[in-house]
Amino acid sequence: MNIIGIIFLITGLLLSGCTAKPRVVAAKKELPSWYLQPPQSNSSTLYALGEGENQQDAITNALSLVASTLHVAVSSNFRAKTVVKEGSVNSSEATYINETQSSVAKIKISEYEILHVKKLGFKRYAALIKVNKQKLFQGLKNELDQKLEIYKSEVKNLQKLDALKQLAYYKNMKKSFIYVQNALIVMKVLHKEFDDTKYLAWMSEVNERYDYLLGHISFWIHSNVTSLIQPVKSALTQKKFIIKNIKSKMHYTVFIRAKLQKANAYGFTLARSEISFVTKNYRGEVLGANVIHVTGQSSQGYAIAKQNLVKKLNNLIRKEGIAKVLNIGI
């Protein structure tokens, strides 16, 4: 080999030595044993393993898995009762189970213990939580007891309020019973001997008082434009109120006053209106007032435009609700 070849060989070796990089071997991340083999739930404790992009997501997903475990317990409990009671599974079972499963999903699981939280990789966390069934039961019971005590303290002064305000209170209370019923379903599964009598009595009392008020509250409507009465009357009837002009402490009168103005625009006849609603109780006290603007239109004259105005008022009431239009709580 001549001198030039030797120079090229040495240069090549030097260059290859400069460009070569040492291989970096990433250490394999060991997964914790509690992740690979999480503890199994038993008669007294629920365990759940959740994953997420951050610690909170992992914990939240673990709680969702606890709810899923309760789904199975509720469903199994219902199936067992169905078989014992009727000797077979009836056609409503699937629907009932779906309803109870969605109910369990809404239960707050506040009594839980975070056993482990670990970052497994980029945007990947795992969390293991523990839920003591007795503590979960007691937490739900304390929550319901607190709601019941609040009701007892509020209902003492409720009789002093106007009948519509009482009705609104009981209506909201009935809505809150969706959660109460869901909690009772889970509590019955967690504690088979649990006595839910006082909670059922509470719900029954509220339902009875609501039904009584709804069956005795009455309305009557006055208006300087007769055609505007029907949309309001229909909306109140749909809410099951009595439409009758009677003397009662639960009677209300809706006064409708409309200012109409005829106009023309782009070949249409317009019926512009400013409509005021005032609702008074039997003592003549104003409970709610509102003013809205509605415009009817027609290419066939003013009479048809006024009919269109009534139609638009009716559509507005359907969309917004009669409570919002009258500005009263019903």
CATH label of the domain that carries residue 234: 3.30.160.150
Please tell me whether residues 307 and 246 are part of one structural domain.
yes
Which residues does 10 contact at the CB level (< 8 Å), separation at least 6?
none
Residues 204-233: tens digit of each pLDDT: 999 999 999 999 999 999 999 999 999 999
State which residues form the domain around 231: 217-326
pLDDT at 94: 44
User: Are 167 and 94 found together in one domain?
Assistant: no
Rounded Cα–Cα distance for residues 289 and 301 (Å): 32
In a domain, 4, yes or no: no
Helices (H), 106-259: 133-158, 163-190, 197-216, 229-238
Question: Within this chain, do residues 178 and 239 fall inside the same structural domain, yes or no?
Answer: no
The answer to whether residue 222 is domain-embedded is yes
pLDDT at 89: 41
Residue for token pair 């610690």: 55
Per-residue pLDDT of the chain (330 residues; tens, 9 = 90+): 566 555 555 566 555 555 555 565 555 568 899 999 999 988 889 899 999 999 999 998 888 888 777 766 666 555 544 444 444 444 434 444 445 445 565 677 877 899 999 998 888 999 999 999 999 999 999 999 999 999 999 998 898 889 999 999 999 999 999 889 888 888 888 888 999 999 999 999 999 999 999 999 999 999 999 999 999 999 999 999 999 999 899 999 999 999 999 999 888 999 999 999 999 999 999 999 999 999 999 999 999 999 999 999 999 999 999 999 999 988
pLDDT of residue 199: 96
Which residue, 81, 108, 133, sits at the end of a domain?
Answer: 133
Q: Does residue 10 form part of some domain?
A: no
Distance CA 90, CA 240 (A): 34
SS3 253: strand
Q: 252: how many CB neighbours lie within 10 A of its CB?
A: 24
Q: To 5 degrees, how large is the angle CA 184–CA 58–CA 105?
A: 20
One domain, residues 115 and 170:
no
Number of structural domains (the chain) is 3
SS3 of residue 44 by DSSP? coil
* CA pair distance 63, 106, nearest whole angstrom: 11
